[in-house]
Chain A
Amino acid sequence: MSQAPLLRVSNLTHMYGNRVGCRDVSFELWPGEVIGIVGESGSGKSTLLSCLSTRQQPSAGLVEYDTADQGLTDVYALSEPRRRMLMRTDWGIVHQNPRDGLRMGVSAGANVGERLMAVGARHYGRIREQAGQWLDKVEIDPTRMDDQPATFSGGMLQRLQIARNLVTHPRLVFMDEPTGGLDVSVQARLLDLLRRLVTDLGLSAIVVTHDLAVARLLAHRLMVMRQGEVVEHGLTDQVLDDPHHPYTQLLVSSVLQP
């Protein structure tokens, strides 16, 4: 494992006027590590994720990312072109609703190839070949490459979105409820796939979810949020099997056992 963390967050705070989005969040993410963020609706999970992925400027605090040439750098101090480059090469963002992360008007192949073209690929055959390989990796039949995403099922759309993000081999992927809105069997397959991809590619990821099972399967470490603050964090199994904070205890005990 390398010496520097991939992402370092210090005292991150975001306020919506007088209301707290998230307060005083600090953590480090190391290469190859998956951190889960759990908590109820409105606890500031998604706010935190948008602040980390430069989609929303935080009110205070620092987000530093290990860039290839400069080491740990404040992402909000980067120039706009560099930040855009970072977002489409080093980072991936998987939205809860795949329609937010996809271009619904163009074919699946174009969706996967977009990032390649954005970083300068200009050879149709090679773009297509890579898009095909990635569709195969996320278990979408490559013969459906020229189909519109609108003809895909919810699970397929989510997998297409994942392929579109991973095609440039990012080091860090932000996922906002990647299994939201999918039925359980589809969820299970998607989780399997995500777990495999994360191990195979050595990805780091930050996964926001309200589903503790998803957190247990994917995350190495877990942060529990409540009312904008991190109330507990530690290794996933530790937090889930031996919750200390009363809210975490409540959260863990609220899971229905079939």
Chain B
Amino acid sequence: MSTGYNFAYLDEQTKRMLRRALLKAVAIPGYQVPFGSREMPLPYGWGTGGIQVTAAVIGADDILKVIDQGADDTTNAVSIRRFFARTAGVATTEKTREATVIQTRHRIPETPLSEGQIMVYQVPIPEPLRWLEPRETETRKMHALADYGAMHVKLYEDIARYGHIATTYDYPVLVNDRYLMRPSPIPKFDNPKMDNSPALQLFGAGREKRIYAVPPYTSVKSLDFEDHPFEIQRWDQACALCGATESFLDEVVTDDAGGRMYVCSDSDYCGERRDEVEQ
């Protein structure tokens, strides 16, 4: 552990401010709480919001797992894990079951979450209505009045153009039957995992300076039409490494001759399944 830093990098006053925002966010599920985002030692877009939230909630005896695109061994995941190992001295893990705090970009682990775990999402753009309505004053008003008809215009347009709802990630959800929320760029495959999850889910957007949350056991509904219900992605293949048929698969190009394979995007889940087979 490096010396010269406060525990988990941020100073105590900043963490207090963050926790206050987090408490408010948990009290109003799906509502975007403004907070004073700090400069972090990495660029915006690399997960500064998520890192600040993690720094605010992590304690000395927590065990941290970091996911990037489902994997534990990619650059961002490794760097963020090492950042907290050095500045907070916390234990880190790649096992979903062992972790108490899981910071993620793009995925929710395949292994079901349990009570007491905290999911921290890195959010690029928190406002679900942004592409429909550029004015912040107006989107706030739309949230205040639960005036969300415009969001369905986007889904309508999808069906009219492609015959099905073609939004595949960052799929808008309604939290606790009240606030429209962007679930961060996770595939819509993961949306059902958010609904009534036993884990606490926190969302941090560093550049946009917003925090929002979904408390445990809160309803999270994906928007849809009565005659075009919400559906998750499906694959014809099973994972080439572990044979899983129920997980989110990545297509990996293996050579220049059109060779490709499908493997689980959640590397921990895939590894665990392969270990079980070996034993």
- Indicate with 1 or 0, residue by residue over B237-253, a CB within 8 angstroms of chain A CB atoms: 00000000000000000
Cross-chain contact A107 with B161 (CB below 8 angstroms):
yes
Bound complex: CA A123 to CA B224 (Å): 9
Bound complex: CA A145 to CA B160 (Å): 9
Q: Does B135 contact A (CB under 8 A)?
A: no
- Indicate with 1 or 0, residue by residue over B146-180, a CB within 8 angstroms of chain A CB atoms: 01011011101101110000000000000000000
Q: Among the listed B149, B161, B226, which residue makes an inter-chain contact with A117, where contact means beta carbons less than 8 Å apart? A: B149
Bound complex: CA A110 to CA B226 (Å): 17
Q: Using Cβ atoms and an 8 Å threshold, which residues of chain A touch B228?
A: 124
Cross-chain contact A122 with B160 (CB below 8 angstroms):
no
Chain B 209-237 interface residues, beta-carbon cutoff 8 Å to A:
225-228
Q: Does A17 contact B (CB under 8 A)?
A: no
Cross-chain contact A123 with B150 (CB below 8 angstroms):
no
Bound complex: CA A145 to CA B156 (Å): 12
Cross-chain contact A110 with B160 (CB below 8 angstroms):
yes
Bound complex: CA A238 to CA B238 (Å): 81
Q: Does B145 contact A (CB under 8 A)?
A: yes
Cross-chain contact B153 with A106 (CB below 8 angstroms):
yes
Q: Does A103 contact B (CB under 8 A)?
A: yes
Cross-chain contact A124 with B156 (CB below 8 angstroms):
yes
Cross-chain contact A107 with B152 (CB below 8 angstroms):
no
- Indicate with 1 or 0, residue by residue over A55-85, a CB within 8 angstroms of chain B CB atoms: 0000000000000000000000000110010
Cross-chain contact B150 with A114 (CB below 8 angstroms):
yes
| CB within 8 Å for A124 and B147 given contacts A106-B153, A110-B156 | no
CB nearest to A116 among chain B residues: B149
B230 vs chain A, min Cβ distance (A): 12
Interface range for B = 10 to 19
Cross-chain contact A146 with B149 (CB below 8 angstroms):
no
Cross-chain contact B153 with A123 (CB below 8 angstroms):
no
Q: Does A197 contact B (CB under 8 A)?
A: no
Cross-chain contact A80 with B145 (CB below 8 angstroms):
yes
| CB within 8 Å for A118 and B147 given contacts A109-B160, A124-B159 | yes
Cross-chain contact B149 with A123 (CB below 8 angstroms):
no
Cross-chain contact A84 with B145 (CB below 8 angstroms):
yes
- Indicate with 1 or 0, residue by residue over B123-150, a CB within 8 angstroms of chain A CB atoms: 0000000000000000001000101011
Bound complex: CA A224 to CA B127 (Å): 47
How many A residues have CB within 8 A of the partner chain? 23
Q: Among the listed B149, B159, B160, which residue makes an inter-chain contact with A118, where contact means beta carbons less than 8 Å apart? A: B149
Bound complex: CA A146 to CA B152 (Å): 16
B20 vs chain A, min Cβ distance (A): 29
Chain A 119-154 interface residues, beta-carbon cutoff 8 Å to B:
119-120, 122-125, 127-128, 145-146
Q: Using Cβ atoms and an 8 Å threshold, which residues of chain B touch A113?
A: 153, 156
CB nearest to B152 among chain A residues: A117
Cross-chain contact A110 with B157 (CB below 8 angstroms):
yes
Q: Among the listed A81, A106, A115, which residue makes an inter-chain contact with B157, where contact means beta carbons less than 8 Å apart? A: A106
Cross-chain contact B153 with A110 (CB below 8 angstroms):
yes
CB nearest to A127 among chain B residues: B156
CB nearest to B148 among chain A residues: A118
Q: Using Cβ atoms and an 8 Å threshold, which residues of chain A touch B149?
A: 114-115, 117-120
Bound complex: CA A115 to CA B147 (Å): 12
Cross-chain contact B227 with A124 (CB below 8 angstroms):
yes
Cross-chain contact B157 with A123 (CB below 8 angstroms):
no
| CB within 8 Å for A124 and B157 given contacts A117-B149, A117-B152, A118-B150 | no
CB nearest to A79 among chain B residues: B145
| CB within 8 Å for A117 and B147 given contacts A80-B141, A146-B161 | no
Q: Among the listed A114, A119, A145, which residue makes an inter-chain contact with B153, where contact means beta carbons less than 8 Å apart? A: A114
B112 vs chain A, min Cβ distance (A): 30
Bound complex: CA A255 to CA B239 (Å): 78
Cross-chain contact A117 with B227 (CB below 8 angstroms):
no
Bound complex: CA A62 to CA B200 (Å): 51
Q: Using Cβ atoms and an 8 Å threshold, which residues of chain B touch A110?
A: 153, 156-157, 160
Cross-chain contact A122 with B225 (CB below 8 angstroms):
yes
Bound complex: CA A127 to CA B156 (Å): 9
Cross-chain contact A123 with B226 (CB below 8 angstroms):
yes
Bound complex: CA A138 to CA B154 (Å): 24
Bound complex: CA A95 to CA B160 (Å): 26
Q: Using Cβ atoms and an 8 Å threshold, which residues of chain A touch B157?
A: 106-107, 110
Bound complex: CA A123 to CA B225 (Å): 5
A-B contact pairs, 5 of them (CB 8 A): A114-B149, A117-B156, A120-B149, A122-B152, A123-B226
Additional pairs, 11, CB under 8 Å, beyond known A113-B156, A117-B153, A117-B156: A84-B145, A106-B153, A106-B154, A109-B156, A110-B157, A117-B149, A118-B149, A122-B226, A124-B227, A146-B160, A146-B161
